[in-house]
Amino acid sequence: MAIRITTCTNAEAAAFLPRLAELRIAVFREYPYLYEGNMAYEMEYLHSFLHVRDVVLVVALDGDRVVGVSTGMPLSGQPLLVQQPWVTAGESISDIFYLSESVLQKEYRGQGIGVRFFEERENWARQLGFAHTAFCAVIRPQDDPWRPRDYVPLDAFWHHRGYRRKEGYICQMSWQMVYETEETEKSLQFWSKDLLLDKP
């Protein structure tokens, strides 16, 4: 069956949040996030999607079943610790649309759904007048013993979508990894794209 992609915001998005939590727990358990899922954390995190203006959820459906979700919101709606590197660099926060996450069930990857996730969120940000989109990705050590042999980094995928590393733009987030006994702080590298230079 063909995959259907639908884009929605705040009120309509609410129905998809429990499924987004499930997908986040399942997909982010994989390398490189190794997230030890926690429903209490998920509910607190997902709460912002109901209250921040101009959020977007891009949902991939196989029949009635949600198989992937991608999200975004204005950077101004994110916690200060996420905004921090941009504030420190003197950037205008109000120009930046933050791409929060993309989580797609494994068996649906490599069919172009991830590309659509980027296109839909960028179109949304353009319509709202944002100049840039940005996201951050966890930094893992080069010689990471947890890295699976067959792991393919997403750097090339992001490059092909027009994203570049923002050197020195690093934020900190805390979560518990599968081999940890409590939450610890992780560093995440920002990537961004100039939407004005990249018109579809």
Ligand X SMILES: CC(C)(COP(=O)(O)OP(=O)(O)OC[C@H]1O[C@@H](n2cnc3c(N)ncnc32)[C@H](O)[C@@H]1OP(=O)(O)O)[C@@H](O)C(=O)NCCC(=O)NCCS
Q: Is 27 in the site for ligand X (CB under 6 A)?
A: yes
Q: Which residues contact 49 (CB under 8 A, 6 or more apart)?
A: 10, 13, 14, 17, 55, 57, 71, 73
Q: Is 128 in the site for ligand X (CB under 6 A)?
A: no
Nearer to ligand X, 94 or 172 (CB): 172
Please give the backbone phi and psi of residue 127, each rounded to the nearest 5 degrees, phi first.
Answer: -60, -30
Q: Is 90 in the site for ligand X (CB under 6 A)?
A: no
Task: Find the helix packing angle between 39-51 and 17-27, rounded to 10°.
Answer: 130
Q: Which stretch binds ligand X (CB under 6 A): 10-18, 36-44, 78-86, 102-110?
A: 102-110
Among 104, 134, 171, 195, binds ligand X (CB under 6 A): 104
Nearer to ligand X, 53 or 160 (CB): 160
Rounded to whole angstroms, the Cα distance separating 109 from 45 reads: 25
Residue entry with tokens 């996730």:
117
Among 111, 127, 174, 184, binds ligand X (CB under 6 A): 111
Residue 176: CB minimum distance to ligand X, A: 18
Q: Is 102 in the site for ligand X (CB under 6 A)?
A: yes
Strands 96-104 and 132-138: parallel
Token pair listed for 37? 């899922």
Q: Which residues bind ligand X (CB under 6 A)?
A: 27, 101-104, 109-115, 117, 137, 154, 156-157, 160
